[in-house]
């Protein structure tokens, strides 16, 4: 992958006396070589602080220069790696037009408009196809013209051909067909992260569920990894499982592809991961809490909520058991 343009670093910092600093990812990537060295500084002569293996996932914080990316690994390390050895899977973008139309297909004449986006709104860009960007906005998928969205990683975002693209089903149409609503939620107020998790007298699945529910009401932040200050859907599931000694991948798609084992919808138990998306492509994950309900980091407007199993706003794809 040849990099032609320097990309500016995007860092969100929350700081005050005795408070930590939080850095949010601008993109997700996977290592595309057998072994990738992580350096303390953006220099091949800098101290080697570790190695990544092929297909390891990294949070991309920003760009040091044309050749180097600043990353944060799943173990929390901050380091620098050669940009050409990381494939960008998803990247954050910003709407730069007013009233930008979100469509169900990448075409002006052969598509339907189901929403409009305002200047400055954030989206997640999945890929580029023939001058259009496939994006996720507040949990909904669609296509917008590439000229109305900018990203520091636009030249490195993967591309697809029109033959590979399928029409998306807008979330509201799914809700009308199933009679569900993504607003079926419970809010018990904001809760800070706790150092320990009680397990006495409860199964691990039930313990995980009770632990996850205490964060209902806390914010959704794309790329965030903090259960108290901001987390996205897969960050939520990863961090909850981590608190119970379970290591899983960082993105919803990787969790579905790589972690645990498949269980049917009728076999769901507390603590199972449930996955959603369009056309069989996973783009959202939640934790099953029993009684036909899930807890999940839903959207920036709702934060972490409790919904019905079929009320995530996207079609149900499957479930995995990781405990």
Rounded to an integer, what distance in angstroms lies between the CA atom of residue 153 and that of residue 123?
Answer: 13
Burial of 263 (0-12, 13-18, 19+ CB in 10 A): middle
Domains of the chain plus CATH, in order, are 1-168 (2.30.30.40), 204-321 (3.90.1720.10)
pLDDT band per the 50, 70, 90 thresholds, residue 42: very high
CA proximity to 117, closest of 95, 143, 142: 95
Any idea what DSSP says for residue 165? -
In this prediction, residue 321 carries a pLDDT of 94
What's the token pair of residue 44?
A: 């091949």
Task: Please indicate whether residue 284 is annotated as part of the active site.
Answer: yes
pLDDT by residue (tens digit) across 84-142?
Answer: 898 888 888 999 999 999 999 999 888 999 899 999 998 989 899 999 999 988 778 89
φ and ψ of 95, to 5 deg: -70, 130
Burial of 162 (0-12, 13-18, 19+ CB in 10 A): exposed
Of the listed 133, 137, 233, 244, which one is catalytic? 233
Give the residue with greater pLDDT, 209 vs 158: 209
* Residues present in the chain in total: 323
Is pLDDT of 8 > 60? no
Is pLDDT of 188 > 50? no
Rounded to an integer, what distance in angstroms lies between the CA atom of residue 178 and that of residue 253?
Answer: 24
pLDDT band per the 50, 70, 90 thresholds, residue 200: very low
Rounded to an integer, what distance in angstroms lies between the CA atom of residue 233 and that of residue 136?
Answer: 13
Instruction: Decide: helix, strand or coil at residue 156.
Output: helix
In this prediction, residue 308 carries a pLDDT of 93
Torsion of CA 41, 47, 53, 59, to 10 degrees: -30
Rounded to an integer, what distance in angstroms lies between the CA atom of residue 190 and that of residue 219?
Answer: 8
Rounded to an integer, what distance in angstroms lies between the CA atom of residue 148 and that of residue 133?
Answer: 9
In this prediction, residue 54 carries a pLDDT of 86
CA proximity to 228, closest of 273, 275, 195, 185: 195
Give the residue with greater pLDDT, 60 vs 16: 60
Is pLDDT of 191 > 80? no
What's the token pair of residue 122?
A: 């954030």
Q: How many CA atoms lie within 13 A of 47 on its CB side?
A: 3
Task: Please indicate whether residue 296 is annotated as part of the active site.
Answer: yes
């Amino acid at each position: 992958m040849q990099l032609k343009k320097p990309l500016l670093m995007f860092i969100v910092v929350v700081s005050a006396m005795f408070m930590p600093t939080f850095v949010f990812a601008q993109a997700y990537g996977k290592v595309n070589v057998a072994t990738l060295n992580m350096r303390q500084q953006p220099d091949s002569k800098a101290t080697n602080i570790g190695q990544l293996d092929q297909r390891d996932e990294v949070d991309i914080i920003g760009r040091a220069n044309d050749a180097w990316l600043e990353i944060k690994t799943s173990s929390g390390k901050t380091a620098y790696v050669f940009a050409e050895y990381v494939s960008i899977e998803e990247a954050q973008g910003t709407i730069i037009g007013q009233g930008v139309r979100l469509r169900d297909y990448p075409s002006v004449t052969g598509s339907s408009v189901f929403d409009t986006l305002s200047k400055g709104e954030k989206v997640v860009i999945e890929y580029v196809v023939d001058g259009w960007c496939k994006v996720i906005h507040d949990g909904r998928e669609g296509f917008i013209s590439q000229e109305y969205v900018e990203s520091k990683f636009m030249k490195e975002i993967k591309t697809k051909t029109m033959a590979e693209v399928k029409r998306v089903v807008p979330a509201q149409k799914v809700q009308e067909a199933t009679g569900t609503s993504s607003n079926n939620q419970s809010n018990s107020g904001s809760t800070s992260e706790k150092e320990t998790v009680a397990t006495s007298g409860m199964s691990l699945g039930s313990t995980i569920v009770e632990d996850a529910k205490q964060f209902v009401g806390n914010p959704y932040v794309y790329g965030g990894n903090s259960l108290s200050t901001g987390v996205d859907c897969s960050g939520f599931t990863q961090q909850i499982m981590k608190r119970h000694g379970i290591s899983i991948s960082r993105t919803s798609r990787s969790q579905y592809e790589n972690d645990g084992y498949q269980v049917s919808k009728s076999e769901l138990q507390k603590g199972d991961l449930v996955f959603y998306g369009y056309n069989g492509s996973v783009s959202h994950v939640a934790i099953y809490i029993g009684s036909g309900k899930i807890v999940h980091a839903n959207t920036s407007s709702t934060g972490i909520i409790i919904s019905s199993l079929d009320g995530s706003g996207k079609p149900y794809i499957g479930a995995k058991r990781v405990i």
